[in-house]
Amino acid sequence: ETGVTQSPTHLIKTRGQQVTLRCSSQSGHNTVSWYQQALGQGPQFIFQYYREEENGRGNFPPRFSGLQFPNYSSELNVNALELDDSALYLCASSKAGTSTDTQYFGPGTRLTVL
């Protein structure tokens, strides 16, 4: 098991609602990336945070937003939920500026939008 934790494990929401997902990084890691993984697909990069700033964004609309806190934990917020937002949401932490090049994923939050 990695040191990356995510909460909640599962979540059911209805269309139009808002959701906040949380991620706690591996100790010593200062960068967090969020991904969306639909069933049977590979993860899709949503965005990355480094030093509390967004450091790159994938092809996702602005209703997907995030935060990184001074302790490097992170939140993913999704507004105006749509049925297609149903997926596994993964966060992954890494350490910028090192040669170890190791990234650790959390177990994910399964979001169902009805």
Residues in contact with another protein by CB under 8 A are: 2, 4, 31, 33, 40-45, 48, 55-56, 58, 90, 92, 94, 96, 101-108
CB of 92 to another protein, least distance (A): 7
Spatial separation of the C-alpha atoms in residues 112 and 86, rounded to whole Å: 5
- HEC per residue, 33-47: EEEEECCCCCCEEEE
Beta carbons of 104 and 5 less than 8 angstroms apart: no
CB of 15 to another protein, least distance (A): 25
Spatial separation of the C-alpha atoms in residues 42 and 11, rounded to whole Å: 21
17 vs 43, beta carbon nearer another protein: 43
18 vs 98, beta carbon nearer another protein: 98
CB of 96 to another protein, least distance (A): 6
Report the number of secondary-structure helices (H) and strands (E) in the chain.
0, 11
13 vs 58, beta carbon nearer another protein: 58
